[in-house]
Structure 1
């Protein structure tokens, strides 16, 4: 059954990737939604939780996240524990969540797919009760994000800058951090420059990583980078860019349904779905089965990645 426009409320993050570069993108989508669908932009100091709470109190049952993966994750977090649905209007830089669902990055086509779509419940991952839809990273990647934000602020949001900051951060890397990981299969102590915990099969495929079957089984796909010299890390980054990671040489892969990661730092920096935050260790990872209702496109509107 198609989505009723009367149930829709669009929440926009003005700072998201393409939305900030193309001011007409959201206007094109709103023209498809129609004049009765409200557009609400986050104001200074307002959180996604605040905006979603107001929208639900006003009677809307489908909240459209207009922005990038960070916007989607923030609104999805606010919708946990409710019966409302999440829809995605991709206006970010990478849009991994929407691309994994088969949504077009054209705003008009995406809006039409939302109206013709249907709700579907999905399982989500959490770290210290923070929802994530794509991945969580520890080690180098949170530092890479800091470098990326500085480059974006100086030069604008371009994908080539995202890849450049990976190399720049690796070149400045110093000592390799240590971790202790507890899962239902036991405990392992290790030193690694990067731990990558995935929940998106699309993102794994995009970067040439195996583990889609793990995601389908409602488990975390956990990638641990092999430790080594800067040159080794450069080779790993190069293999990743060419989608030719070598299992057992570049990374080790294991899976878990629940996981606790102990770190040397009391409040390690954690990256999730393109955002970053300092979290209190140990870090508790959990799968929440069928916890989020999301609008997915019908087969005729689905775009092949």
Structure 2
């Protein structure tokens, strides 16, 4: 047998790690080494056969993940999503209900998914979790054919994201820019949506500028919402607000800080198994994990419980038992 054949056979015995990363992330280490090179070297040193998939454009992520899944059909290993929560969502959409676990290297602005799972934000520390961690199944929110790991919303929130992306392109991708941009949108006049909600079969007509669904318990806790417990139980956690003035909006923002948001008369909270939203519009803009998607109505919201395998720290797995 030739040396090349022996090497190929040895590589095939190794566990396969496929890294899915948006090239536009542009993250570098303090030593100016590109993150993807750092990760490839780290996993290689730990005995893995590493395949790197660098997407030139965000829409390439789906195709690359599908290619990686095909490679993993004959070999055990992990598909690693390296990027922000939007990248994680794209990879998770392909891995949903499958047997291939997803590893997470958080490279975004807020990194709610990683933080909720106690995955370190430093790339090499997160890589260590992928090498030494435990597989665990997590809940995933669903709206029609799409999933959300953090949240999905209609109305104001999609507008906030659109404005945030415009401001990010001007001022840079910083938390302060995102927060100030969102605040500016909230202070404008808003058109209310005329909707019909079916909450576990009970019809509730509503006029609202914002309906928000949260799946990430940590994010809901950051918003000081009691609905965090609802999400932890694998149910739909949602809030809707009525049409409000600028002063009422300021009051609601203050209530968020005080932890009394859900008690405001302008707020309706839902904890349900299924929610359907009907609208006269044939499709609606839905913000899904920070990305804007046009989704045909009616919108069907649900939770797929224990639907996605992820690699989490061993101590986090012990807490879940």
Q: Would you say same fold, with TM above 0.5? A: yes
Query: What does 1:61-72 align with in structure 2 at a 5 Å threshold?
Result: 61-72=77-88
Query: What does 1:44-63 align with in structure 2 at a 5 Å threshold?
Result: 44=57, 47-59=60-72, 61-63=77-79
Q: Is 1:163 the counterpart of 2:179 in the alignment?
A: yes
Of 15, 18, 24, the match for 1:9: 18
| More displaced 10-residue stretch of structure 1: 88-97 or 162-171 | 162-171
Structure with larger RCO (C-alpha < 8 A, sep 6+): 1
Contact kept in structure 2, 1:17 and 1:93, CA below 8 Å: no
The two structures have a TM-score, normalised by structure 2, of 0.85
Q: CA deviation at 1:69?
A: 0.2
User: Which residue is 2:115 aligned to?
Assistant: 99
Gaps of 5+ in 2: 1-12
Query: What does 1:127-138 align with in structure 2 at a 5 Å threshold?
Result: 127-138=143-154
Separation in 2, partners of 1:125, 1:220: 8
Aligned residues: 298
Query: What does 1:1-305 align with in structure 2 at a 5 Å threshold?
Result: 6-16=15-25, 24-34=34-44, 36-44=49-57, 47-59=60-72, 61-240=77-256, 242=257, 244-249=259-264, 251-299=267-315
Separation in 1, partners of 2:87, 2:68: 16
Q: CA deviation at 1:171?
A: 2.9
Contact kept in structure 2, 1:225 and 1:251, CA below 8 Å: yes
Q: Secondary structure at the match of 1:157?
A: coil
Separation in 1, partners of 2:35, 2:223: 27
Contact kept in structure 2, 1:29 and 1:111, CA below 8 Å: yes
The two structures have a TM-score, normalised by structure 1, of 0.89
Gaps of 5+ in 1: none
| More displaced 10-residue stretch of structure 1: 147-156 or 35-44 | 35-44
Q: Secondary structure at the match of 1:15?
A: helix
Q: CA deviation at 1:18?
A: 5.4
